[in-house]
Structure 1
Amino acid sequence: MTRMLLSVERDAIATAARRVMARCDELARMSSSTEGIERVYLSPEHARVNRLAAEWMREAGMSTRQDAAGNQIGRLEGAFGPEAPALMMGSHLDTVPDAGRFDGIVGVLMALEVVRMLRVPTADGSFRSPFPFALEVIAFSDEEGTRFGKALLGSSAVAGTWDAEWWNLTDEEGNTLREAFREFGLDPGRVGEAARRPEELVGYLEAHIEQGPQLDERGESLAVVSSIASARRFQLIVEGEARHAGGTPYDRRRDALLGASEAALAVERICSAEHHMVGTVGQLEAYPGAVNIVPGEAHLSLDLRGEFDGTRDAVWQLLTTEIDAIMGRRGLRWKAREIHAAPAVFCAPLLQDVVRAGILSTLPEGVDDPATIFSRAGHDGMAIGAITDVGMLFLRNPDGISHHPDESVSSGDVARGIQALAEAVLQLNADR
């Protein structure tokens, strides 16, 4: 494996990392909220960050376009011209409410710096990829699903898996996805033009902060991602009987909120006993919601994630059996509606190998293999895996907090990540 970047470009890499950090700050100011970062799909803020990302892509020598789903793409042609396939790198620029400034964003900006590092000048003063494949940077438009409740809309369009039923999704103001497309200047009838064919791509590489504490606890900067967790999400409804709080004895109560609360505790107990399983109840609402009425109905969400689809599904069966027992004891009824399902996506062995080689280039000779971690959080690679091989690099996130203003990454770790990602591209070219 070449050590070109390690030996020649150390100062340039440090400069690139500082530029990434400054640009994360700049993008953080593009928010619909005055009290935190919030940037959702097909909003004015989305348009603003796309324009700025396009400016940075052109500055790196890339041609740019916004695709039919609102994803921003930059491309640096390779030695064989526009018909050559591309190595796609990037992440997303949308956020959750009250977000941190690095989730997704740092991956787009690091990919831009890798292009800047690897590009070669041409006789006419422009730049090209030094490889037989093009280099593309993509800023996905809607990974989080904050506005319409459906994640991975941008990357699903690129993967060609757009579902026509999504057009009827609505935001909090009642605007449909179809209406938002038109208001943004996109044509719903042309969303299929965003789809890429497998033969157009060499693979997809993404750098992302770890949304957990493992690297921080290990005292390491970077990790190879082995897979992205499988996920299922449900809306559960518990039905009891609403009655007067003062006049109803305990033995006559059919309290839906208590049944839902016991179910939430069962989720924690059962999932924590299973290796690599995570279950979260993030929403819990009681109806009719009056202080002096025993709740007659309760709604709760369940987010279930696992490394393997089979284990995830087996845990769901354990949970349904346990919830049946809870509701039976309390004289309650319950039902579940599945609202999301995604299989586990395993990173391609070759791309894991080149990411590992890239990380090793940042470490002293003789150091053991870097950490390999499975991602419990979802990423655009889950959708892109339908059309090409996927590889991911994790960066240390002190304390592991994410989707929160305290989310963090150091400039030093970003520098090591840029070097590792660039070396991974060089290694991929050598190994193909």
Structure 2
Amino acid sequence: MKINQKRFHEHIETLAEIGKIGETGVCRLAHSKEDREAVDVVRLWMEEAGLETHIDGFGNLVGRVEGKEKDKPILMLGSHIDSQPYGGRFDGTLGALGAIEVVHTLKEEGITPNRSIEVICFADEEGSRFNKGVFGVRGIIGQLEEGELERKDKNGVTRLEALREFGVEPDLSQSPVYKPGDIEAFLELHIEQGPVLESQDKPVGIVSAISGPIWLTVTLEGFAGHAGSVPMNLRQDAFLGASIITKEFNELVRNEGTPNTVGTVGSVQTFPNSRNIIPEKVEFTVDLRDIDLDARTKLEKKLYEIIERTSKEHNLEYSISEDTRSDPRYCADWIKDIMKAEDEQLGYDSPTLMSGPFHDALFMSYISDYGMIFVRCEKGISHNPLEYAEMEDMQKGVELLYHTALKIAQS
């Protein structure tokens, strides 16, 4: 192997100590003090690898090594290092630290790339704190929306306040930083977050596409009343409505979705949230994904019908806000061809598979060709402290990333 396995292992283990929860968990919420501590540590590793670093106005950590031909479109590598509130050690971290290891290895091999290389740790990929993620990548490509800095976390802290506490004075006027043609390719290494590679007994996979997510927030409003005195047939129970919608949504996806369709209600807030008061207001999130855009669109339409019908039957008012919408995005054939050729040389015999979760790469695809490499993770568990990947598998993923990056950097 070209990469320094000992150094890479130490970086993985060291970063896992920042925001550590329990024996194996991690909590590094976007723009938090733990996130900043992690950024400062990773920045030092970037500089040791020969990268010139800065933190931009969106909170992204960016490192750059100049190539021989400065007018060539750059090669960009990276992922994220923020986590879910109850997350694992490898989600995002593998791709961010793997990208640094690629550049460090080039330096140790005495290779100056023909084209400049940038390594980026994107800010707030996860979206768990402000209920809208991939903030940093959307910032650099010009996809930020109105009110981004005013979004609040569960403690009432706005993103603007959080970024300032993080040490950044947000400057959304910088967006977009990159335009189509500035970047030759974006490469991201990531744990699979699914069970396919494990089921095939393969350490590494080459990604074909990322399915497109829709994130919705649904609000139902009824009328509060005493739980002991209001007859069942006279109630306007918002939580009952939310429960029926959740059940029917689950059945819709199971019965009418494609094999790649997934749907989740993941966050529920009730008001007044008291044992003996009929719930007056419920807010819940919907996550709907598919690699087939037409199939997703049909299910989305039927979901709206379920919400409307249920609200009418239970005398509830409803509103739906759209938090995220992205079409499925396909990896560039020429990048997959390079990966497959290098994979053959390494003897991995890696399969091709799709990604259900979305990644920073999905948004980079709007301005650049992209490719992704997956690494097997145990039982497909992710967004959980039990998330686990073998070090040997991760090293193989970084090795394939290195050879792919070298080929593109020298082209």
Q: TM-score, normalised by structure 2?
A: 0.90
SS at match of 2:346: coil
User: Aligned equivalents of 1:252 and 1:47: distance in 2?
Assistant: 52
Q: Does structure 2 conserve the Cα–Cα contact (< 8 Å) formed by 1:348 and 1:391?
A: yes
1:299-338 to structure 2, matched below 5 A, reads 299-338=283-322
SS in 2 for 1:198: coil
Task: Say whether residues 1:102 and 2:86 are aligned partners.
Answer: no
How much does 1:152 deviate? Answer: 1.0
Q: 1:77 to 1:71 in 2, by over 3 A?
A: same
| Structure 1 position 212 matched with structure 2 position 206 | no
- Asked if the contact 2:212/2:290 (under 8 Å) is kept, the reply is yes
Q: CA deviation at 1:407?
A: 0.7
> Measured at CA, do residues 258 and 351 of structure 1 come closer, stay the same or move farther in structure 2, by a change above 3 Å?
same
Matched, 1:48 2:37: yes
Cα distance, 1:429 vs structure 2:
5.5
Written as runs of structure 1 = structure 2, the 5 A alignment for 1:354-373 is: 354-363=338-347, 370-373=350-353
- The residue type paired with residue 47 of structure 2 is R
Partner of 1:251: 233
Whether 2:409 is the aligned partner of 1:419: answer no
Question: What is the CA–CA distance in structure 2 between the aligned matches of 1:115 and 1:61, rounded to whole Å?
Answer: 8
Local SS of the residue matching 1:302: strand
Q: CA deviation at 1:415?
A: 1.9
- C-alpha distance in 1 between matches for 2:297 and 2:381: 27
Partner of 2:75: 87
Query: Which of 50, 60, 84 matches 1:61?
Result: 50
Structure 1 residue 386: deviation in Å?
A: 2.1
1:112 corresponds in structure 2 to 100
**Equivalence for 1:181:** 163
Deviations 1:215-247 (A, max 9, x none): 111211111112222111112223334333333
CA deviation digits over 1:129-168, x for unaligned, max 9?
34x2122211112211233332111111221333352122
- 1:192 corresponds to which of 158, 171, 174: 174
d(CA) in 1 for partners of 2:164 and 2:281? 38
User: After alignment, is 392-401 or 178-187 more displaced?
Assistant: 178-187
- Cα deviation for residue 362 of structure 1 reads 3.0
Q: Distance in 1 between matches of 2:131 and 2:307?
A: 26
Contact 1:156 1:162 (C-alpha < 8 Å) held by counterparts: yes
Larger radius of gyration: 1
Mapped contact 2:75–2:409 kept (Cα < 8 A) = no
Distance (whole Å) between structure 1 residues aligned to residue 142 and residue 174 of structure 2: 7
Q: Which residue of 1 aligns with 2:127?
A: 145
* 3-state secondary structure, aligned to 1:70: coil
Aligned twin of 2:66 = 77
Are the structure 2 counterparts of residues 319 and 148 from structure 1 closer, same or farther at C-alpha, using a change threshold of 3 Å? closer
Where 1:235 maps in the other structure, the secondary structure is strand
CA contact (8 A) 1:70 1:154 kept: yes
What is the SS of the residue equivalent to 1:293? Answer: coil
* Paired AA for residue 203 in structure 1: A
Deviations 1:178-212 (A, max 9, x none): 33333444333465077123333211000000111
What are the within-5 Å matches in structure 2 for residues 374-385 of structure 1?
Answer: 374-385=354-365
Which residue is equivalent to 1:240?
222
Larger CA deviation: 285-294 vs 88-97: 285-294
SS in 2 for 1:361: helix
1-side partners of 2:157 and 2:133: how far apart? 17
Q: 1:170 aligns with which of 152, 172, 176?
A: 152
Q: 1:298 to 1:173 in 2, by over 3 A?
A: closer
Shift of 1:172: 3.5
* 1:386 partnered with 2:386: no
Shift of 1:363: 2.3
Give distance in 2, aligned partners of 1:258 and 1:190: 41
Task: Decide whether aligned partners of structure 1 residues 55 and 423 sit closer, same or farther in structure 2, where only a CA change above 3 A counts.
Answer: same
Answer yes or no: is 1:134 the counterpart of 2:123.
no
Cα distance in 1, alignment partners of residues 41 and 272 from structure 2: 47
Task: Return the match for 1:261 from 243, 267, 281.
Answer: 243
Q: Secondary structure at the match of 2:121?
A: strand
1:39 Cα deviation from its structure 2 partner:
1.7
Name the stretch that deviates more: 287-296 or 207-216. 287-296
Q: Secondary structure at the match of 1:136?
A: strand
- Counterpart code for 1:310: D
**SS of match in other structure, 1:188:** coil
- Rate the CA distance shift 1:200–1:362 in 2: closer, same or farther, 3 A: same
The reply to whether residue 295 of structure 1 matches residue 279 of structure 2 is yes
The alpha-carbon deviation at position 24 of structure 1 amounts to: 1.6
Provide closer, same or farther for how the CA distance between residues 247 and 68 of structure 1 changes in structure 2, counting only shifts above 3 A.
closer
Counterpart residue number, 1:3: none
1:161 aligns with 2:143: yes
Q: 2:15 maps to which residue?
A: 27
Check 1:248–1:223 CA distance in 2 against 1; reply closer, same or farther (3 A cut). Answer: same
Measure how far apart 1:326 and its partner are.
Answer: 3.4
**SS of aligned partner of 1:244:** coil
- Tell me the distance in 2 between the aligned counterparts of 1:112 and 1:221: 21
Q: Could you tell me which amino acid in structure 2 is paired with residue 68 of structure 1? A: G
Given residue 159 of structure 1, which amino acid in structure 2 is its aligned partner? Answer: I
CA distance in 1, matches of 2:241, 2:33: 43
Taking the aligned partners of 1:97 and 1:156, their CA distance within structure 2 comes to 22
User: What is the number of equivalent residue pairs in this alignment?
Assistant: 408
Q: Is the 8 A contact 1:60 1:116 kept in 2?
A: yes
